[in-house]
Amino acid sequence: MPDVMSPVPPATSPSKGKVFLSRLVSTVFLWATLTVALWLDLDWLLLGMMAVVGVLGTWEYVRLQREDEGAGAYSKLVVILSAGYWAALLGWYAFTENVGAALWWLDAALLVIGGQAVFFMAFRQGLEGEKTLRRVFNGFFAMVYTIFLWGFMAKLLLAGEAANGSMLVLTVILVTKFGDMGAYLFGSWLGKHKMVPHISPAKTWEGFGGAVFSSCLGMAIMLLVLEPGTLEPFGNFEAMALAPFIAVLGVMGDLAESVLKRCHHIKDSGHKLPGIGGILDLTDSLLFTVPVVYLFIILFA
C-alpha cells in the first residue's frame, strides 16, 4: 500500500506572553542604547543611530515593492537618496555648528532632486501605463515617508537655542512608545470593541484609551524626573496637554503603516526586532509624532 501522508499541523502563533516578552527584550535593548547616548551627551552617536535606522527603514519600505520587477531601479534610487541625505547631514554636523538651520535646505534638495530623479527613471524605461505612474508616485512617497518625516528626528535633536534637543528627543520617544505599549497591553487584556477592523483587526477602542493613558503617564514621569525648564519651550501644562495629542498621532502612525502592510498582504515590515517586527514597525508612530512636536516647538519658540 502506498504511504499515506499525514497532514502537516498548522503553525501555531506564539502566545501573547511570549510576544510581550520578546517585545520587552527588544525595547529594553533599544532604550539602553539610546540612554547611553543621551547620558554621555553624544549627539553624533544619536545622529548615527538615526541615520542607520533611516536608511534601513527606506530599504525595508522599498522591499515591499519587490514583486514588481520594474520597480527595482526606483527602489535603488530611493535607497541611494536616503543614504546621501544622512551622509550629507552627518557631514554638515561634523563641519558646521549651525547644522539645524541647514536641514531645511537639505530637505528642499531631497524633494526637488528626488522628485526629478524618479521621473528620470521613467525616461529611461518604456512606459507601462499605470504601472509606471505607480512606480513614480511610490518612489516619491517613499522619500517623503521614510526620509523626510524621519529627518525631523535630527531637527528635533539639533533644535539649537530654541530647545534642549536631546531631552526632547528622549521625551517624545518615551511618550510615544508608552502609548504604543499601553495600546498593546490594554488592547490585549481588555480589548473588545474593534476600532478599524478593515485596517487592523487587533486595534480596539480599549487599546486606544490605553495609549492615551500611558502617554500621559509617560509624560508625567518625565516631568517628575527632569529638572524644571528642561523641556522648554514647553512648561508642565503644555507638556501634559501635548501628551494625549502625541498618543493620538502615534495611533494614527501605527494605523498608517497597517494600511501599507495590509495592501501588501504582510503582517510585519521585517523581522529585525523580535516581538516588534521590522524597522518601520518600530518607527511608524514616531513618523507622525516627531514632526508635529517639532512644529509645535517652532511655534512656541
8 A C-beta contact, residue 191 and residue 211: no
> What confidence score (pLDDT) does residue 28 get?
65
CA–CA separation, 223 vs 270, rounded Å?
34
> How does DSSP assign 74-117, residue by residue?
HHHHHHHHHHHHHHHHHHHHHH-S-HHHHHHHHHHHHHHHHHHH
Strand partners, 273: 277
Q: Where are the domains of the chain?
A: 17-300
Q: Please, what are the averages of pLDDT over each run of 10 residues along the chain (301 residues)?
A: 42 53 60 69 83 93 86 93 94 76 84 94 85 92 96 87 78 92 88 85 90 95 89 88 95 92 72 62 92 87 63
> What confidence score (pLDDT) does residue 158 get?
86
> What confidence score (pLDDT) does residue 267 get?
66
CA angle 71, 72, 75 (to 5 degrees): 85
- DSSP state, residue 145: I
- SS3 assignment, position 277: strand
CA–CA separation, 66 vs 72, rounded Å?
7
Helix axes 43-63, 16-39, angle to 10 degrees: 140
- Provide the CA 257 distance to its chain's centre, in angstroms: 9
CA–CA separation, 236 vs 81, rounded Å?
39
> What confidence score (pLDDT) does residue 211 get?
95
> What confidence score (pLDDT) does residue 9 get?
44
